[in-house]
Amino acid sequence: MQYKSFRIENFKGVRDTTVVLESAIGAGVFAFVGLNESGKTTVLEAIHSFSPDDATSELLAGEKGIGVPFNERVPRHLISEFTGDVSVTATLSVTSQDKERVAKRLLSEHKLILDGDSFPDEIVFQRQQRFENGDFKQSLFTLRTKLQVRSQRQKKWRSPQGDEKKVIRDIVYGRTPDIAYFPTFVFDFPESIFLTDRGGTVDRFYRRVFQDILDHDGRGHTIEKDIVGRIRSDDMVVPWLAFLTTWSMHDDRAKIQHVMDRASAAVSRLIFGKWNKIFGEDTRGKEIVISYDTAEGELKDAQGNKVKTHEHDVLIRFQIRDGTRRFNVNDRSLGFRWFFSFMLFTQFRVARSSSGARPLLFLFDEPASNLHAAAQQKLIDSFPEIAKGEHALVYSTHSHYMIEPKWLEQTFIVTNRADAPPVSVLDEISLDDESLDIQVSLYRQFVNNHPNQTSYFQPILDRLQVVPSRLDLQRASVVVEGKSDYYLLRYAANLLKVSDPPLVPALGAGTFGTLAALHVGWNLKFLFVLDGDKKGRGERDRYESEYGIPGDRLVTIDEIAVGITEIEDLFDDAGRSVVQREMKLTARPTKNQIRRFCQERLAGGNTPALGKHFEDKAKALLDGLWARLAG
């Protein structure tokens, strides 16, 4: 199963908004973009509350399977008087395999036969918390989709009765993806992690992560059986000093160390392998070392006082060994600690889900905020690898470096009022809770609401209040007519494994005016590229005469690549046949279908070959653009 949408009502500052997580471009990565305090965290918490992963649920001060505590969900301005429901309604897509497994469980465990014809390809669940005058009354969990069943003796289909409703709901829900939410603070990697019940919620969270590492190794090791169980075996439940003497000569020390060594090797391979792949740095000679230590047993009595116990504790530490030197992970830079934690949370967890556990929807709040700009841009390239199969990844950001243009079609803008963000800090302070109305809208809808933008990217830059520095203004850019030119050129660069030019998509041949004025007024190094048809040549002449743009900064496509009048001419019959076959079209692909093909395959990291004509013409065009840009 996969989540298709979430409707959120009365959750903190959200009155009523819907988040649609259907990928139009083949990549299960979705960005929530907005300024600080716009409500991005609230939306993530609401989504998480539908099916919270146990480990991340406790991080939000909630119980297992709860997430944000119920009494913290009510609208803030109505905290003492709210009467009604806080609700999250999830719509999920269902595969034929999901249906078969649900039917099989119902039959084998409850002797109920499920009517397959009544089981649609979409199902709807709703979680509600009911309040009266600010007081929590009850929590409701309902499968809104109506299914039909019958017993083995019955001949007619009927609606479920009594406890059958709960049984069916729980079995269907058991196929839905877990939702794992990672707040910013969890990336503050701890100096040590208790593997026993000692410690707080962060220790419990990282214990689950460490168990994922052990599971990934495939030897069946567990924290309880192979580590804690040995340290707390019957012969080791003795006073602390006696424990130290006995443990120093115990055979189990070497057995635990063997478990640690295998875990260290697994983490080293994964972390430094990914580091090298993403950042292109040689990590030979470096490894992650996981060491363990014991501590005198301690627990809290009924009054909360710490008392000593003869069942002693064990803790682990993560270190980096570089030659003869060792460094604690928590002593490294904020950026490395973030990357290290991110890889631990995602890679080992995906491996666990691949072995039969429920798929995952990852939620990351402001990821990579401690990484420098270039590292942020490289990191998001690793997201599709995590969001593969039935997995998906949602992240919030207010950094324009964390926005991948090829995913803009499934990027969301988060606002906390219907109008623009406050124009001053004082305006922000005076904004009362009652006026909050967090809304989530798809970027393409946001673009339609801003008809005066200078380029397709401009609304998102305006929303983030990005102000270019003097250094930014020196960057040379290629301005193309629109989205089709942008995505087809990026596809070509990806296919040919060459650097794609710095592209800026406008909104048509006649929309270069503002960018042309910036080019002249700020002395920017733009290259304007238009189609080689009559309209394109006419606009080229107009920009030269009206804006005074030098002729070498204006070019039509046919002047760079012979035989190409517009970008779609890169496709001959062979290339169009590939598009038609890949998209399962019954007719020759249109311009929009070609653009969508390139956008989807580019976003999914899969760029199939399109024939010799495409490669030759695309190479000539890209080489020509780089040459003109450098001229």
444 pLDDT above the threshold of 50: yes
pLDDT tens readout for residues 474-489: 567 888 888 888 889 9
Q: How confident is the model at residue 599 (pLDDT cuts 50, 70, 90)?
A: confident
Report H helices in 464-533.
Answer: 483-496, 513-521
426 pLDDT above the threshold of 90: no
Residue 346 placed within a domain? no
Residue 225 placed within a domain? yes
470 pLDDT above the threshold of 90: no
pLDDT tens readout for residues 106-145: 999 999 999 999 999 999 999 999 999 989 999 999 999 9
243 pLDDT above the threshold of 90: yes
CA–centroid distance for 291 within its chain: 31
- Domain with residue 493: its CATH number is 3.40.50
Q: How confident is the model at residue 521 (pLDDT cuts 50, 70, 90)?
A: low
Q: Burial of 285 by CB count in 10 Å (0-12 exposed, 13-18 middle, 19+ buried)?
A: exposed
Going 296 to 300 to 301 to 306, the CA torsion angle's sign is positive
The two structure tokens encoding residue 239: 């006073």
Boundary residue ending a domain (292, 310, 337): 337
CA distances to 110, 125, 170, 291, 456 from 166, rounded to whole Å, are 12, 12, 6, 46, 48
Residue 376 placed within a domain? no
Q: What is the pLDDT averaged over residues 564-591?
A: 91
Q: How confident is the model at residue 301 (pLDDT cuts 50, 70, 90)?
A: confident
- The pLDDT value recorded for residue 607 is 87
What's the per-residue H, E or C state across 578-599?
HHHHHCCCCCCCCHHHHHHHHH
Q: Where are the beta strands (DSSP E) in 416-481?
A: 439-442, 477-480
Tell me how far apart the alpha carbons of residues 631 and 620 are, in angstroms, rounded to a whole number.
Answer: 16
Number of domains in the chain: 2
- The pLDDT value recorded for residue 450 is 61
- The pLDDT value recorded for residue 138 is 94
Q: Burial of 195 by CB count in 10 Å (0-12 exposed, 13-18 middle, 19+ buried)?
A: buried
Q: Which residue has the higher pLDDT, 410 or 613?
A: 613
Q: What is the pLDDT averaged over residues 182-191?
A: 80
pLDDT tens readout for residues 196-206: 988 888 888 88
- The pLDDT value recorded for residue 430 is 45
Residue 399 placed within a domain? no
- The pLDDT value recorded for residue 168 is 94
Least confident segment among 50-54, 427-431, 601-605: 427-431
pLDDT tens readout for residues 492-520: 998 998 888 888 887 776 667 666 666 66
- 289 with 326: CB under 8 angstroms? yes
Going by DSSP bridges, is the β-strand pair 84-93/2-11 parallel, antiparallel, or unpaired?
A: antiparallel
352 pLDDT above the threshold of 70: no
The two structure tokens encoding residue 208: 């689950």
Residue 627 placed within a domain? yes
Q: What is the pLDDT averaged over residues 58-85?
A: 82
Q: What is the pLDDT averaged over residues 235-259?
A: 94
Boundary residue ending a domain (313, 337, 361): 337
- The pLDDT value recorded for residue 260 is 95
Q: What is the pLDDT averaged over residues 325-354?
A: 76
- The pLDDT value recorded for residue 363 is 92
Least confident segment among 332-341, 475-484, 531-540: 332-341
Residue 74 placed within a domain? no
- For residue 530, give its domain range: 468-631
Boundary residue ending a domain (310, 337, 364): 337
Nearest to 416 by CA among 403, 429, 394, 433: 433
538 pLDDT above the threshold of 50: yes
473 pLDDT above the threshold of 50: no
Residue 95 placed within a domain? no
Residue 507 placed within a domain? yes
Q: What is the pLDDT averaged over residues 290-312?
A: 90
207-211, 499-503, 545-549: which is most confident: 207-211
Tell me how far apart the alpha carbons of residues 631 and 623 are, in angstroms, rounded to a whole number.
Answer: 12
